[in-house]
Amino acid sequence: MRRGDMGKMTHIKKYSSYLLLSAAFAGAAFAQQVESVTVTAQRHAENIQDVPMSVATLDTEHVEAMFQSGQDIRAIANNLPNVYAESSNGRVAPRFYIRGLGNTDFDLAASQPVSIIMDDIVMENVILKSSPIYDVGDVEVSRGPQGTLFGRNTTAGIIKLTSAKPTQEFQSRFAASYGQYGTASVEMGAGGGLTDTLSARISGLWQHRDNYIDNGFTHLNNALGGYDEKAARLQLLWKPVDRLSVLLNGHFRSLDGTAAIFRANIIGPGDNHLNSNYQHRTVYFDQGANNPQKYNGIGTSAEISYDFGPAVLTSITGYEYTHGYSRGDIDGGYGAVYNPPYGPGFIPFNSESQDGLDYLHQYTQELHLASSTGGPWFWQVGGFWFDTDYADSTYTAPSTPANPRTVVRQTNVSYALFGQSSYQFTDKLKVTAGVRWTSDTKGLTAHGDSVAVPITDPVRLRGSNISWDLSADYAITDTVKAYARVASGFRAPSIQGRDMAFGASYSTARSETILSYEAGIKTELFDKSLRLNVDGFEYYVSHMQFSAIGGGFNSVRLMNARAGQAYGLEADAEWAATENLTFTAGAAWTHTAIHDAALTTSVCAQCSVTNPLGVNGQAMLNGNPFPQAPDYSLSLTARYGYPLSNGGELFAYTDWWLQGYTNFFLYKSKEFHTNGNYEGGLKLGYVFPDKRFQVAAYARNLTNKANLQGAIDFDNNTGFVSDPRVVGIEISAHFE
């Protein structure tokens, strides 16, 4: 860590300690209890304080506030310490990172070490990972490898999203907001009993933003930046007898919007500051057709559970389908092969590309048997099958007979068997152990104008692994628990064929495995007015998979580092300061480092590389941080309610996050990183006396901070930034 960062972390830790001490004393004085939180991090409902691993959640009010201005799924990451998300594909193909571990690969065939589980179905492809969030009941994150219980074997962790479920009692929620740039959002969910044994819930989402960015090259005002996102879900729950439960889920999603907005030469040179070329409402695109993006998808699932008495058998079947494309002016301006006019700044050459899924099919099937008789011993076993087939097409300009698409078809079949057991040895000590066997096979074929020799006989990669975890938790007191966990995980071999669209070959990476150590304290202090959970971790990844992005031309090349290592600290807190004032806070510090003295990668031509350079001017990567891995993150929310004599309430709610040093690429440079990104939101409103209706004014990105989120390095110092401030109004209603 650099000396400046050491000083910064010292101040952060010092002020965090002051805040926690203040919280403790105030909590002791007022003694308002925080609500208990139930999670399913181990495939059955438990109090978050009883789970021997690092788990974080977002409550309903927090989630609703984040999505008021039409945000996509990436918004949840900023408010969870040691969880990060970014995308160079706009509202689709998000890239998630947990404890610094993720994948910067922007292609639609990317393998990601963070799993998204939505209504118990793994969303494996990056397009499926971008499914919009609406009418959600729970959001929880399990940090660290999840090699035993959930979906695909994953080395980084899982983000688990669960929709509000049908009930026999009528329940509904509705929220509508409107703000700057024509930003509108309508979300609803309603359901109840249809018969004594059948209940239903229907949910919907509509998000819209006007085009608000001008194209200065074509002189077209309001040319891009907008979107229309629609989604809906219908769930049916049938319980003909107490022992049998059948939950059916059907959903669709339609997106018509703008892909990522690349802006030429807005960074540096010689530093990572946004310069005068950055104009948040103007770009200069001579290609890309103003960066259109369209995706449509449907899905269905069936979850059937039967209680045999001593055990419950559950079958979960899922199917997902999607297709669409994104097109973009990748150089972010107008270029003319070293000859003026070009701009903004010097742009050596034009770059335009379009990527899309011609189709994607994903099938999953899981069987899960778990004990249900109570007592000191709990066990669960199961099997999992995953099968996907998709065609990913790429071309560098609009497809014509002279410039046809390059189509890469990939398949992936995976099987797994798993089991876990926990035993309560004493009133204070519980031990849990799990094991999972995974077998994974990937295949690739390719054809198109850029493929020198079409691949008709599939390239195949196979990998298998036995992963495991072992944990123990000990109740020091009724409200203070200590735990320790050792866990392993596995990411199967990867194939990347995108470079074939540019005349190069496909690349592969062998399997990676992770061994992680974690220990922590979970507390509920001062008559349960303060919940404070703190943990430390260290992990070691063998044969770590990396994607070398850009560095000379628009490429994605897979490689394995000998190893990667990380260690850090995390804290999550909730404090009921008074009856009307509550806070949540989180903090994380993570140090990551590549360990491979021989690993190198190509670098940009125009930026200021700070790594030592080896053979052929390639950057030597040993000791570098993992790309897109913030070294620290902080988050804070606060809500104050002022009760009125009529039974209503005036309230103020705010949420903030701060992100530390984050390097974009495998190599380091003066331009391609951020340090100190932050964003805040504010909501001021009135809750009616019946506690069902609410009106509010809101502001997202309150300070209008332009956060640099990523870059394109192969042509010029192109970057892409966060959304501007949006101020608006909202009405909402809850009937439960």
Q: What is the CATH number for 571?
A: 2.40.170.20
CA–CA dist 696, 365 (Å, integer): 43
Q: Which domain holds residue 472?
A: 32-516+528-735
Is 722 domain-assigned?
A: yes
Q: CB neighbours of 43 closer than 8 A, spacing ≥ 6?
A: 149, 150, 368, 370, 380, 420
Instruction: Render pLDDT for 621-637 as a digit per residue (tens, 0 to 9).
Output: 999 999 999 999 999 99
Instruction: Render pLDDT for 656-704 as a digit per residue (tens, 0 to 9).
Output: 999 999 999 999 999 999 999 999 999 999 999 999 999 999 999 999 9
Q: What is the pLDDT of residue 54?
A: 95
CA geometry: angle 450, 454, 456, nearest 5 deg? 150
For the cut 50, the answer to whether the pLDDT of residue 21 exceeds it is no
Is 2 domain-assigned?
A: no
For the cut 90, the answer to whether the pLDDT of residue 339 exceeds it is no
Is 659 domain-assigned?
A: yes
Is 27 domain-assigned?
A: no
CA–CA dist 127, 16 (Å, integer): 38
Is 21 domain-assigned?
A: no
Region 404-432 average pLDDT: 94
- Bridge partner residues of 55 (DSSP): 142
For the cut 90, the answer to whether the pLDDT of residue 350 exceeds it is no
Q: What are phi and psi of 50, to 5 degrees?
A: -100, 0
- Bridge partner residues of 162 (DSSP): 138
Is 13 domain-assigned?
A: no
Region 600-625 average pLDDT: 93
CA–CA dist 26, 649 (Å, integer): 23
**3-state helix vs strand vs coil in the chain, percent to 5:** 10, 55, 35
- Bridge partner residues of 48 (DSSP): none
Is 478 domain-assigned?
A: yes
**pLDDT band at residue 5, thresholds of 50, 70 and 90?**
very low
| Dihedral of alpha carbons 615, 621, 627, 633, sign | negative
Is 641 domain-assigned?
A: yes
Instruction: List the structure tokens of 379.
Output: 């066990």
* Total tally of structural domains belonging to the chain: 1
Whether the link from the prior residue into 625 is cis, omega within 30° of 0, is no
**pLDDT band at residue 401, thresholds of 50, 70 and 90?**
low
Asked whether 702 and 687 are in contact (CB, 8 A), the reply is no
Query: What is the three-class DSSP state of 66?
Result: helix
Put residue 69 in one of left, alpha, beta given phi > 0 → left and psi -120 to 50 → alpha.
alpha
Region 419-431 average pLDDT: 96
Q: Are strands 157-163 and 114-118 parallel, antiparallel or unpaired?
A: parallel
* Closest to 392 (Cα-Cα) out of 404, 410, 380: 410
Instruction: Render pLDDT for 646-658 as a digit per residue (tens, 0 to 9).
Output: 999 999 999 999 9
